[in-house]
């Protein structure tokens, strides 16, 4: 899946290699300098059958809530946020990474899959999504991706 | 500064409603943008117009189009205003008025708040100006239908697969 990166989740630990369920997230979350001593709120299950479609209203609703209040609530604590994709249409949950885990009980993605708090040094800081776009780009897990550079230029 | 159609809108660098530094090009992220400047949260006309924009965001969020709002309100004030409106787009704070004079968008009749003139710009992803609206009089602002039309014109121009 172009623009994505993989992590593995066994129900308790996140890593960049097996064992665990393979989940694709916004590649920017693993691309920069890692933030040491952060906390990931993993709203996903290790069960390989635990999935919803990205287009389900409850999944769209969680993305809207992330834009509206979840990211602002985290403020400077936020490191990065990404949904998990299994393929271009199926959603396996989301991860929010923050320097302080105290707000994780309010995570809107925990309405979809139960949250697990994991201490982690894997993730790098990514500017939060700008909104209001909640759709995905060419199957890249939200909020990653964008249309090609050629689309930036006026063609007429 | 020339802010007429065909010119490039400057790549504003300002804190957003959470205080994070942002650039306009980063917020565009390869998509068309409706950029709106506001007097501020206190103005009844702005409150009315923002409620219209919030209704429009339901379409923009599935249409790969962006909304960005600029005002002189402090980030914490913008954040409260945004939350009260239920907005899911980004506000940029020019509380220090770094960009206001350079853009030539000072609302000179309000000497109390020194705010932005209400204006609107529809932008290509590379920040080229497609259309400009002067909203000093409320009815001069872009209607939601005009914003839809502009986003369609821009998208038709930049999306290579538009005609598929």
Assign 3-class secondary structure to chain B. Answer: CCCCCCCECCCCEEEECCCCEEEHHHHHCCCCEEEEECCCCCCHHHHHHHHHHHHHHHHHHHHCCEEEEEECCCHHHHHHHHHHHCCCCEEEECCCCCCHHHHCCECCCCCCCCCECCEEEEECCCCEEEEEEECCCHHHCCCHHHHHHHHHHHHHHHCCCCCC
B125 to chain A: closest CA residue:
A152
Give the HSE-up count for residue B100: Cα atoms under 13 Å, Cβ half-sphere: 22
Query: So what's the pLDDT on residue A155?
Result: 44
User: Which residue in A64, A72, A131, A135 has the most chain B C-beta atoms within 10 A of its own C-beta, making it the best mutation to test that interface?
Assistant: A131
**Chain B nearest CA to A56, separation (Å):** 14
Query: So what's the pLDDT on residue B23?
Result: 98
CA distance A119 to B152: 45
| pTM (2 d.p.) | 0.91
* Interface contact flag, B61 A135, Cβ < 8 Å: yes
B91-132 pLDDT, tens digit per residue, is 999 999 999 999 999 998 988 899 999 999 999 999 999 999
Of B19, B62, B88, the CB nearest to A68: B88
Q: Is it the case that residue B16 has pLDDT exceeding 60?
A: yes
Q: What is the mean pLDDT of residues B43-67?
A: 96
CA distance B131 to B122: 5
Query: So what's the pLDDT on residue A76?
Result: 92
Of A68, A71, A155, the CB nearest to B157: A155
Q: Specify whether the CB–CB gap between A112 and A63 falls below 8 A.
A: no
pLDDT tens, N- to C-terminus, chain A (156 residues): 557 899 999 999 999 999 999 999 999 999 999 999 999 999 999 999 999 999 999 999 999 999 999 999 999 999 999 999 999 899 999 999 999 999 999 999 999 999 999 999 999 999 999 888 888 877 789 998 888 755 555 544
Please provide the average confidence, as pLDDT, over all residues in chain B.
96
More confident residue, B85 or A132: B85
Kindly list the residues from chain A whose CB atom is less than 8 angstroms away from the CB atom of residue B7: none
**Chain B nearest CA to A9, separation (Å):** 30
* Interface contact flag, A67 B88, Cβ < 8 Å: yes
Q: How far is CA A34 from the centre of its chain?
A: 16
Of B17, B61, B125, the CB nearest to A151: B125
């Amino acid at each position: 899946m172009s623009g994505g990166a993989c992590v593995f989740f066994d129900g308790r630990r996140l890593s960049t290699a097996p064992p665990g369920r393979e989940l694709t997230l916004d590649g920017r979350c693993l691309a920069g300098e890692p933030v040491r001593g952060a906390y990931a709120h993993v709203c996903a299950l290790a069960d390989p059958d635990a999935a919803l479609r990205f287009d389900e209203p409850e999944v769209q609703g969680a993305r809207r809530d992330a834009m509206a209040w979840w990211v602002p609530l985290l403020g400077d604590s936020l490191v990065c946020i990404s949904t998990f994709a299994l393929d271009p249409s199926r959603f396996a949950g989301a991860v929010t990474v923050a320097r302080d885990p105290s707000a994780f009980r309010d995570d809107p993605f925990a309405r979809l899959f139960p949250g697990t708090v994991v201490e982690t040094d894997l993730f790098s800081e990514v500017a939060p999504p700008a909104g209001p776009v909640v759709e995905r780009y060419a199957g890249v897990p939200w909020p990653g991706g964008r249309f090609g550079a050629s689309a930036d230029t006026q063609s007429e | 500064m020339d802010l007429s159609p065909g010119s490039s809108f400057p790549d504003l660098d300002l804190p957003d409603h959470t205080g994070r530094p942002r650039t306009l090009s980063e917020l565009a992220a390869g998509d068309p943008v409706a950029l709106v400047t506001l007097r501020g949260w206190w103005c009844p006309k702005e409150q009315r117009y923002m409620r219209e924009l919030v209704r429009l965001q339901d379409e923009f969020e599935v249409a790969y189009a962006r909304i960005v709002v600029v005002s002189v309100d402090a980030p914490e004030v913008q954040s409260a205003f945004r939350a009260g409106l239920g907005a899911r787009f980004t506000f940029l704070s020019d509380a220090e008025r770094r960009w206001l004079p350079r853009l030539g968008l000072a609302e000179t009749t309000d000497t109390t708040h020194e705010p932005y003139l209400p204006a609107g710009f529809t932008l290509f992803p590379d920040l080229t100006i497609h259309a400009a609206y002067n909203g000093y009089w409320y009815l001069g602002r872009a209607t939601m239908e005009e914003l839809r039309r502009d986003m369609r014109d821009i998208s038709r121009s930049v999306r290579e697969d538009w005609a598929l």
